Amino acid sequence: MLELLKKSAVEQAKAIKNKEVSAVELTKASIERIKSIDEKLGAFNSLTEDTALETAKKVDEKVAKGEELPLLAGVPLALKDNMNLIGSKTTASSKILENFVSPYNATATQKLLDNLIPIVGKANLDEFAMGSSNENSAFKKVHNPWNLNKVPGGSSGGSAASVASCESALALGSDTGGSIRLPASFCGIVGMKPTYGKVSRYGLIAFASSLDQIGPFARTVEDAAALLEVISGYDYHDSTSLNLPVENYRNTLNNDIKGLKVGVVKELIGEGLSEDVSKAIQNAIDTYKAQGAEIVEISLPNIKHSIGIYYILATAECSSNLARFDGVRYGHRTSDAKNLLEMYCKTRAEGFGPEVKRRIMLGTYALSSGYYDAYYKKALQMRRVVHEDFLKAFEQVNVLIAPTCPNTAFDLGSKTEDPLSMYLTDIATIGANLSGIPAISVPAGFDKDGMPIGLQIMAPQLKEAELFNFAYKFEQAHDYYKQLANI
């Protein structure tokens, strides 16, 4: 069964259709694998075995009746633990939601169920998706399947580790400043953030609502494209949801890219890049050249401000979004309060971890009277300037490439005392969130210690099909994606 778990999602789905394996057998194998290795990885906060098997049974009934199956039916998936699945705990890896049970399904979750995709468990994350290493989970750290002493990246570290270790073939994550792409890059898999508005966030625990997007993790570009088809589409429940038809991205994966233009982001390939990552980017440039694309150097002069902008906007938005966790309506409530105000204060002091508290304080400060214009308003203006840099760039090129991260996965514990150096990890990914554009990380080789490197590709808003096309062309030119973590 391990051989089958190592196959791509599309191949697993085919095996079910051809009756080489039943969906129940495959789902059980995924759950068994989680039970046998996850103690070492920490990728899951909880398993949702009953729901998964119920879905798998439905698949097998359809197979027995000879009915047509949805594309990814029966393929095990890990759901980031900040998305609701009825009856399961949705904790956001926070003590404040430790015992919170989802009362309804997130729209993305509902689409998975409608497509008969068994959800095997809730994947660990940085508390409320705030972090780049998954060390901010209130429950346990996630370890990188390629080297257990290294971080998997964050905040969707559990989702990425699950797919990289073949516990599941697929996962969903959320990406506010890089939380899908960074862990995908550190774990050697594919992770994609769609255009803002492509996937409904209804039922996703909000972090920074003007940036949050749900997106797919997989081991191949084709699988990621197929999973995005499943979860995208208009939703009345999310006012930012785009009312556009769901596209078929798989039809155009192998399109010729001859004559198309690839921009290399100058500011993201210079100083501070590790030698191995730098070589990997050169290799990507050579690959696209050999396929007939034209390489153009592109400047995004304001991208250097993106971290500063992000840490004003994201903290401001989270200070407002997290105000609802007050001990009255959700989750934890202190057992030791003499009056209402003390109940609020103690509940929040006990329930939130240090990084979440830091962000709430920063955000409240940035929004406070007298500072609003200097910080929040300025950051909004600068966000527009960064967006315009991207618009100008896309007048010249079809896609942009850059590393997903200037370095590969770092040692557990090596950055926890230094939040600023942790924040810098996201220098290459935040721009896409500020601009609302789609971006993907694909496996692009390994460093001298055997740790995976990610190539990031970005495209204009709504150009997902072109993005997947470029990602697929690079993937198929190499065999990086075929190499799996040995765990």
Minimal distance, residue 178 CB to ligand GLN, in Å? 5
> Using CA atoms, how far apart are residues 355 and 417, in angstroms rounded to an integer?
11
| Run of H or E including 27 | helix 23-41
Minimal distance, residue 247 CB to ligand GLN, in Å? 24
Minimal distance, residue 248 CB to ligand GLN, in Å? 28
Site residues for ligand GLN, 413-472, by CB under 6 A, read 426
Of 37 and 424, the one with the shorter C-beta distance to ligand GLN is 424
Active site residue 80: yes
> Using CA atoms, how far apart are residues 456 and 444, in angstroms rounded to an integer?
9
Minimal distance, residue 278 CB to ligand GLN, in Å? 23
Which residue of 179, 195, 435, 441 would you call a contact of ligand GLN, by CB under 6 A? 179
Of 175 and 466, the one with the shorter C-beta distance to ligand GLN is 175
Site size toward ligand GLN, by CB under 6 A: 13
Options 88, 93, 133, 155, the catalytic residue: 155
> Using CA atoms, how far apart are residues 124 and 107, in angstroms rounded to an integer?
20
Q: Is 178 in the site for ligand GLN (CB under 6 A)?
A: yes
* Residue of 171, 248, 170 whose CA lies nearest to 10: 170
Cα–chain center distance at 77: 14
> Using CA atoms, how far apart are residues 483 and 55, in angstroms rounded to an integer?
30
Q: Of 113-121, 177-185, 220-228, 254-262, which segment contacts ligand GLN by CB under 6 A?
A: 177-185
Stretch 122-151: interaction string toward ligand GLN, x if CB under 6 A: -------xxxx-------------------
Options 28, 30, 62, 80, the catalytic residue: 80
- At residue 32's C-alpha, the angle toward residues 27 and 33, to 5°, is 100
Active site residue 346: no
Which residue of 155, 195, 232, 435 would you call a contact of ligand GLN, by CB under 6 A? 155
Which residue of 77, 172, 224, 314 would you call a contact of ligand GLN, by CB under 6 A? 314
Active site residue 266: no
CA distances to 98, 234, 362 from 210, in Å: 26, 17, 17
Say if residues 119 and 134 touch (Cβ distance below 8 Å): no
Options 8, 22, 168, 179, the catalytic residue: 179
> Using CA atoms, how far apart are residues 397 and 265, in angstroms rounded to an integer?
11
* Residue of 425, 440, 435, 437 whose CA lies nearest to 473: 440
Minimal distance, residue 211 CB to ligand GLN, in Å? 8
Please tell me whether residue 34 adopts helix, strand or coil conformation.
Answer: helix
> Using CA atoms, how far apart are residues 163 and 133, in angstroms rounded to an integer?
16
- Which stretches of the chain bind ligand GLN, using CB under 6 A? 129-132, 155, 175-179, 207, 314, 426
By annotation, the residues acting in catalysis are 80, 155, 179
